[in-house]
Structures are given as C-alpha cells and as structure tokens.
Amino acid sequence: MAKEKLIEVTNLKQYFPVKKSSWFQKEQLYVKANDGISIHINKGETYGLVGESGCGKSTLGRVILQLYPQTQGNTVYYGRTIYEYQPQYVERVLKNLDKEIGKYKKAVEKAKTDTNSVNNFPADDADRLFHQIARLTGGLFYASDLKAAGDALLEEYHAGCEVAKLAETLDVNNTASRTAYEAAEKKQADCRAKLDKLKEACKSHEGFDKAESLWDQGIDLGMLTREEGRVLRQDLQIIFQDPYSSLNPRMTVGQIISEALVAHKKFKKGSQELEDYIIDIMEKCGLDKYFIHRYPHQFSGGQRQRIGIARALALNPKFIVCDEAVSALDVSIQSQVINLLQDLKEKEDLTYLFISHDLSVVKYISDRIGVMYLGNMVESAPSERIFKNPKHPYTIALLEAIPTTEPDSKELAILEGDIPSPVNPPTGCKFHTRCKHAMDICKAECPRWREVEPEHWVACHLLDNNE
C-alpha cells in the first residue's frame, strides 16, 4: 500500500534574533535553529528525530505545530483537505492570482540582487511563494489569463467543498443523499476536466511539471489565520519532556485534561459527559479514575508523563510531537511509557514525531529516523537502515557513541570537537569542522539533500563522489 503523507515541510527555516551585544552592533544576528529542512512524515508512522543538544530538534517540532511563526519555508498538513477545512487563504489566493504571482515575481527579482549574507535574514521568499501558490494552481501557475485560471480553480474548489460537505452526512442507503453526493462528484469531475484543458496551453512552459507536481489539497499551516490555527491545533499536539513544569500545579488532573476540551467547546464545563470522557482517557493512559481530583505534585514522574499524554490525547489528535517525552524518566518507567505510546498509536490511529537525543530509544520506537546537525537534516532513512547502513559521517559517529555495556549512560557526548555556533555556522557542510573525511569542497559548498537510495536521504559530498 502506498504511504500517505501526513506532514510535509519544505526548506523550513526558523531563525531566532539574537539580542544585540552592544549599542554599536549594527547587524542583527540570528540563531539558525532550523536552516532549510525538507522532510515528510507519513500517516501512522513514528518518525524519530535525533541529534546532539541544540541542533534544533525541539524547534522543528514546535515549528511544525506552528508554535513559532516559521521564518521561511512551507509546512503542509494532510490530515484534512482544504475542501474539508476551507481556510480563508484559498479563496484569497485564487481570487487574486495575478497579484499573488506578481509577489512571487518580485521575490525572484529581489533574490537576484540580495546576496543573502550569512548573518542576515533568508532571502528565499520566492521558493516559499512558489510552493504556496503552485499547491493551489498546479501548472496553471503559468496561465496567460490568470483571471480565467483563477475562476476555473475556484469553481473546482467550491465543487470539492460541496463533495466534502455531503460526504459528512452521506447515507448510501438513502437514495436522495446518494444522488446528491454523486451529482456533486460529477460536478467536481467536470471542473477538473476543464482545468486539464486549460493546463494544456501551459504545458510547454518551463517549470510546468514542477508546479503541477505540487498541486494537492493539503493545508498550508503557515497560511492560516490565528483562529484557524487554533482550531486545527486539535489535530496537532505535543508532549513535553518535563511533565512537571508543563503541568499547572494549581490544577487537578481532571482540570488539566478538560481545559482544551472546554476551550474547543467539545463539552460543557462541569458536565457528567465531560467527567466520563476524562475518566475514559485516564484509563486508556493507565491512570486510575480516582486520581481525577489530585494535583500534579501528588504523582510520580512516570504518572505525570501519563497525565501529559492524556492531556495531548483529549482532543483526539492525529499527530503528536513527543519532545524528549521519556528522557526525564527512569529506564524501567521509560519502557512503560514507550509501550503506552505504542499502544495508543495503534488504537487511536496516531502519527508521532519522536524527538530524542537517545538513539537507542528512537531505534526502538521509530519507523524512520532523521538525523539533525546544527539546524540541518543530514540523513533520513528507515530505522533499520540508519542502524545497519548509516551513510553520513555524523550518523556513523553518533552510532559509535552509543555505549553498549552501560545502559544508563547513553548521552551522545563522545563526538570529538565542540558543536560550532548556530549563529555563525561553518561555511559549506556545517559538519566539516568535526568530520574525519572532510575535503576541500566540504568547506566551500553546502551538500545537496538527496535521495541516494529509495527512502534514504543524505546530505554529504562523500556520497556525491561515489556516483
């Protein structure tokens, strides 16, 4: 069965401004916590994210959830379609295609003159705009009559919204319901046929294939209004490392779990239905129901993490970022919590981004693993392949750093040399200052992020040489 994407990030950048050290410092510097990351996470999988402290793992998790407004790039969510969710940006872009494409063209011109100096803000707006617009237009990005293209795309969009609406109440045994649904589907198919005709005229345009391949119905999270983002956050949750500091000490377990449910108007505050629902979630997470009136300090670390999991689960999410979710726990409790997460994943149809500095934990839980270094992804592959056939020198060094005889000390601290500053990272491949195999080209050029084998992505000049 083909794997379906749930999340896709493209060229994602998250830069944090650094406070100026003196009054005379003119240039604004940035911590490049995420510096051009492109990965996808499939529905139903656990994607493990590893790398030394400070490489940007937590930042990536938070940017995907849009807890930080991303500096650059695209984050697309496929758990719902634009037809189902109907975010405002779709109509805005399609009704103003000429203006939007004008913005893109301006950004292309600006990129030609901007040198994108090392310490300045990224000037790759053009790439982000291209993705944003082409996701809605496909090859019609290059239509000569943008008004006609926009109208045809809007018509198809509205037809798709109607299909999505009818699908919610579709009763296949009810003739009227079925007929209405089939008619809506037919209308959408007709609209798509019209789009295909219009696209014929653009096919000769250079770039058509690229734009057409981006056309899909995912939701661009960076384009949502604050309120749309808030509502969609039901689907996208996070479990933090330190369960104590992330739980409000003045709230009971019941209040902690119910907070978001009430805010999202799923239940009435104080209702019996709410209490029954909370007890059900608590039991799913291995918490006795009589804990409901207790406060966080009355629990052990493992139990507190179960409360954090119950809170994340309350809104029935589709995707959970587990940010060092078991790192603060004893090894025996770690495995209990990991088993709980595995169990819930199956039962609740979840997808995880599992962030950890501990490769042995990630190995156990992940379907695929991504390795980060200083704001960049250096390798991504199915879990087994990362362990059996690692390709990037950094991944190899990380694996060598796992002690085999002392299960209690698995910190990844054995790599030689200090991690360079993310404010002023080395040129070329950021790892070259610590890499045993560094060549001249590594100091000068950023290695390409490319698929060296099916599903095995690496950014390393050594592999380019092997071609």
Ligand X SMILES: Nc1ncnc2c1ncn2[C@@H]1O[C@H](COP(=O)(O)OP(=O)(O)OP(=O)(O)O)[C@@H](O)[C@H]1O
CB of residue 421 vs ligand X: minimum separation in angstroms? 8
CB of residue 411 vs ligand X: minimum separation in angstroms? 11
Contact between 7 and 75 under an 8 Å Cβ cutoff? The reply is: yes
Contact set for ligand X, span 42-71 (CB under 6 A): 51, 53-59
Measured CA to CA, the distance from residue 268 to residue 128 in angstroms comes to: 41
Nearer to ligand X, 12 or 33 (CB): 33
CB of residue 448 vs ligand X: minimum separation in angstroms? 23
CB of residue 240 vs ligand X: minimum separation in angstroms? 11
Packing angle, helices 97-113 and 125-137, rounded to 10: 150
Nearer to ligand X, 170 or 423 (CB): 423
Residues 243-262, mask of contacts with ligand X (x by CB under 6 A): --------------------
The pairing of beta strand 5-17 with beta strand 319-323: unpaired
In three-state secondary structure terms, 372 is strand
Measured CA to CA, the distance from residue 182 to residue 171 in angstroms comes to: 12
Contact between 5 and 43 under an 8 Å Cβ cutoff? The reply is: yes
Q: What separation, in Å, do the N-terminal and C-terminal C-alpha atoms of the chain show?
A: 31
Measured CA to CA, the distance from residue 240 to residue 305 in angstroms comes to: 8
The pairing of beta strand 72-77 with beta strand 376-382: unpaired
Nearer to ligand X, 51 or 160 (CB): 51
Interface with ligand X (CB under 6 A), residue total: 13
Nearer to ligand X, 132 or 237 (CB): 237
Contact between 163 and 181 under an 8 Å Cβ cutoff? The reply is: yes
Nearest CA among 46, 123, 31, 34 for reference residue 75: 34
CB of residue 387 vs ligand X: minimum separation in angstroms? 20
Nearer to ligand X, 211 or 239 (CB): 239
Nearer to ligand X, 73 or 87 (CB): 73
User: In the chain, what's the furthest Cα-to-Cα distance?
Assistant: 75
Contact set for ligand X, span 343-372 (CB under 6 A): 357
Contact between 398 and 411 under an 8 Å Cβ cutoff? The reply is: no
CB of residue 317 vs ligand X: minimum separation in angstroms? 21
Cα-atom radius of gyration of the chain, to the nearest Å? 24
Nearer to ligand X, 241 or 351 (CB): 241
CB of residue 33 vs ligand X: minimum separation in angstroms? 3
Per CB under 6 A, 31 contacts ligand X: yes
Contact positions toward ligand X, by CB under 6 A?
A: 16, 31, 33, 51, 53-59, 357, 422
